[in-house]
A and B are shown apart, each in its own frame.
Chain A
Amino acid sequence: MDALAVGSLYALIALGYTMVYGILKFINFAHSDVFVLGAWTAYRAALCAGWTNDGVPEPIARWVLWILGLIAAVGLVLAVVGRTVVKPPPGALGQSGPARAGSTLLAVGVWGWACVGLVLLARVLKAGGMEYVAGGVILLLAMGTCGVVGFCIERLAYKPLRKAPRLNVLITAIGVSLLLQNVGQLDWMFGTQPARMPSLVAQDKPLLTILGTPNADGSIAGGVNVWLVDVIGAGTAIILMIALDRLVFQTKIGRAMRAVSYNPTTAALMGIPVDRVISFTFVLGAVLAAAAGFLYTQKYPGLLQPATGTWVLLGLKAFVAAVVGGIGNIRGAMAGGLLIGLIEFFGVGYVSTEYRDVYVFGLLIVVLLVRPSGLLGKAVAEKV
């Protein structure tokens, strides 16, 4: 059950890697940091909403509101000025630069206020006894924040490099990753101290036990324990994955995403707004990573400082999942994530706990040697 729960989380993160790779053909190393950011955001939001470890609720910092208001105001001014005063150069498509920057800032600011609203909502819901709904609100908040962050990352860091060699984009991704890690370590962000995520779904015994042998006193020995947290985690992950699958394969934007992934130039010629599709993909990936981050902290509440290797390693494993499933292939990433989870936890359970990372990377190498395009990927012949 651990394997399934963690595996589905790997799958969620892997989806972000695989979608970005499928469209831009580069490994987004900053993705695991978005995942960590999601976890920490959820932690902060949960503290503000009234969950505590030590009984002292944390107030919402007032200056955060001021800064958000400022960003929103600047964005509003820029957007208005950009639309009315600054004329785009003749022949240019779309809005002028200031207008675009302004609308981005405006969106960030508005989302910041929305976050405050969501935290208050969660606080009210929690006070009203609806803890699950409040948890869902926190989840939404983390997802939205990471979506906005993902959007900004794509706009500011990756978009100027659309035509650059892939290695440059990769280095930029590493730069973004370093940036996120170190901003996260600042004192006024999350600090460098480890923290403990309060459990939003409190429980002291497993939901049910499969394959166990009942004792005389009614307790159950052995068997597989199914915890509520696993069910919620895996369930949310699977719902999100189904939603994504439907989005990609049955909607218009999904078709656009697949077209851009297949051939960006032709897609652009067919009238698909490639930049917008790429931004959307990033936001989608970041949103899923944030959800995975939140669910992961529910299962393993120990939150470490953002730059710690363990968390980055989680992201790496998710990347392995994407490769094993066939990189660029969305259903492959889901299957790969589950497979990695299964192999890791069965390896830990039946062989040895010390080599859990070796199993994962060993599987990676075996898969690459036997079937380089991944389990569900299809081999792409190189065109001259």
Chain B
Amino acid sequence: MTKNATDQLPGPGGALLRAWWPVAAALGIALFAHLVLRPMLGDFPSKLLLDIGINIVLAVSLTMVNGFTGQFSIGHAAFMAVGGYTGAAIVYYGSYFAFGSEAVKAGVLSTLSVSHAGAPWFTSGDGLFLGSIIAGGLVAAACGYLVGLPSLRLRGDYLAIVTLGFGEIVRVLIQRTAEVSYDLDEIKAAPLVGIGQLFTQPRAEWQAPVWTRVGGALGFTGLPTYNSLFWSLAAAGLTLLVAYRIKVSSHGRALLSIREDEIASEAMGVNTTKYKIRAFVISSFFAGIAGALFAHTTGITLKASELGFVKSFDIIIMVVLGGLGSISGASIAAVILSLLPELLRKPGSLVELWPYAAGVLVLGVVLVAAGGTRPVAKRVGKALAGLGVASLVFAGAAAVAMKNGVDLSAYRMILYALALILMMILRPQGLFGVFEIWDRAAWDWLLPRRTSEPARRGVRP
């Protein structure tokens, strides 16, 4: 195992620093993005950046189960829904109880677009939001435990099937809840706990506790939008940190051993069920956090139908595209897949980029020609040339289609699907395989083969 430079710092102060500097760095970056980058970028790019943060949390948390442990969960969005609805109910009804209305009581950290001169950094509203995020994560983790305990004893695809079923059940149950209440008196009069008609749609005689009124099929509307670039990126940073620390710990090695060979790791004394459940619970926790963040984002109506298995597949695609088990790969895939649909939304603007594609092609050809006997230059050159040709062909086809009056935006998802299939066929191990972006082995396909045989086969040494 490699040692960090900070491992050498002496004394208790060093230990404290060693433990906390990455956290501080993550929060610092988030703060920087929120206070400095956001005004520079404008509203829409900031919103994209915020979505990227949430997607990173989702992708990295799923990496812990699908990537590290090799268990196949396809109901991740269900945990997101559980966390999201928990957080939303707490913030929404908590705001009524605490402040008398659902209006946003946000400080500087939580304002996405409005600048508050002289506003406090952190308000009671932010505190409520932070509490709701954590609560959402915890409830999702508890659900993860309940789902994982029985199903993780099974092997292979059965976990996939159970998580799929669980996801659908969560979705249906949420869709059957009662509509949101907007009336302060009604909310105060309702019982906080009680079983009542939990999942009916009562309008007159209503007995169910107030937190079950989360909007049903219409969605949870009127949620205060506390989420901001700061919260989203801070959560992403912390998730990355936790995932990385797990991966390089003995705990993480146990998980990786389960992925490589479950029977062998059991023979070596790893309690596979225990570790699988742990990974699943941690993963659900972060999915819940992502859900709570998602619920309080501007422009979002929390709807169970949007957190169905299509959403789960989106997350899985990020994980597989990045490379199963690669934290950095999953994050990069999350960034790409958050931006790609937006880019494809306006194909015309993509066509205008053709000079760049031509430039890439020329660069590639020059590298191949001038590379001589240097294999790295030749390989990089070939890759660039291929990329350039593909982009030029794409741009040409798009231009011809647009000239003929074809509405290209209708083909957005088709292009996306085709790209997905091609990617799976051409590079099945994802962007980085099981490696991180800084591992040399992740670049083996580009570099001359000098790495050891196990590394080439995709086994981490």
Chain A residues with a Cβ under 8 A of chain B: 25, 27, 157, 160-161, 164-165, 167-169, 171-172, 174-176, 178-179, 181-183, 185-187, 309, 313, 316, 320, 323, 327, 354-355, 357-358, 361-362, 364-365, 368-369, 372, 382, 384
Known: A175-B424, A362-B169, A365-B165. Contact between A355 and B176, CB under 8 A? yes
Within 264-320 of B, Cβ neighbours of A (below 8 Å) are at: 305, 308-309, 313, 316-317, 320
A-B contact sample (10 more), CB < 8 A, given A179-B418, A355-B172: A25-B157, A165-B324, A178-B413, A182-B413, A183-B414, A309-B305, A354-B176, A364-B161, A368-B158, A369-B151
Inter-subunit contact A369/B150 (CB<8 Å): yes
B410 touches A171 (CB 8 A): no
When C-beta atoms are compared, the residue in chain A nearest to B161 turns out to be A323
Q: Which residue of B lies closest to A313 (CB)?
A: B168
Closest 3 A-B residue pairs measured CB to CB? Answer: A175-B420, A179-B417, A178-B417
B242 at the interface (CB under 8 A from A): no
- B66 CB contacts on chain A under 8 angstroms: 167
Q: Does B398 make an interface contact (CB < 8 A)?
A: no
Q: Which residues of the partner chain B approach A185 to less than 8 Å between Cβ atoms?
A: 410
Contacts of A187 in B (CB 8 A): 410
Jot down 7 A-B pairs with beta carbons below 8 A, ordered by A. A27-B157, A167-B66, A168-B320, A172-B425, A182-B411, A358-B173, A365-B166
A164 vs B155: C-alpha distance when bound (angstroms): 20
A293 to chain B, nearest CB (A): 20
Determine the distance from Cα of A167 to Cα of B161 in the docked complex, in whole angstroms. 14
- Check A361 against B168 for contact (C-beta < 8 Å): yes
A306 to chain B, nearest CB (A): 12
Q: A175-B417, A176-B417 are in contact. Are A167 and B320 (CB under 8 A)?
A: yes
CB distance from A304 to the nearest CB of B (A): 14
Q: Does B160 contact A (CB under 8 A)?
A: yes
Query: Contact between A171 and B320 (Cβ–Cβ < 8 Å)?
Result: yes
Is B72 part of the contact surface with A, judged by Cβ < 8 Å? yes
Interface residue tally on B, bucketed by range? 35 or more
User: Is B164 close to A, CB under 8 A?
Assistant: yes
Q: Are B428 and A165 in contact (CB under 8 A)?
A: yes
Task: Assess the A168–B305 pair: CB atoms within 8 A.
Answer: no
B134 is an interface residue with CB less than 8 A from chain A: no
Q: How far is the CB of A20 from chain B (nearest CB, A)?
A: 13
B32 at the interface (CB under 8 A from A): no
Residues in B with CB closer than 8 Å to A174 are: 313, 316-317, 420
Q: Contacts A165-B428, A372-B158 known; A182 to B172 CB distance under 8 Å?
A: no
B162, B410, B428: which contacts A161 (Cβ < 8 A)? B428
Interface contact A320-B417, CB-CB below 8 Å:
no
Pair B420/A358 contact, Cβ less than 8 Å:
no
Residues A171 and B420 in contact in the complex (CB < 8 Å), given A179-B414, A365-B165, A368-B154: yes
B445 close to A (CB within 8 Å): no
Task: Report the minimal beta-carbon distance from A241 to chain B, rounded to whole angstroms.
Answer: 23
**B263 contacts the other chain (CB 8 A):** yes
Given contacts A183-B414, A187-B410, A358-B169, contact A372 B317 (CB under 8 A): no
Asked if A364 meets B72 with Cβ closer than 8 Å, knowing A168-B320, A171-B420, A372-B158, the reply is: no
> Which residues of chain B have C-beta atoms less than 8 A from A182's C-beta?
411, 413-414, 417
Cα(A354)–Cα(B410), bound, Å: 35
Pair B150/A172 contact, Cβ less than 8 Å: no
Contacts of B421 in A (CB 8 A): 157, 172, 175-176, 179
Q: Give the docked Cα–Cα distance between A309 and B305 (Å).
A: 9
Is B122 engaged at the interface, CB distance under 8 Å to the other chain? no
For residue B324, which residues in chain A have a CB less than 8 angstroms away from its CB?
A: 165, 167
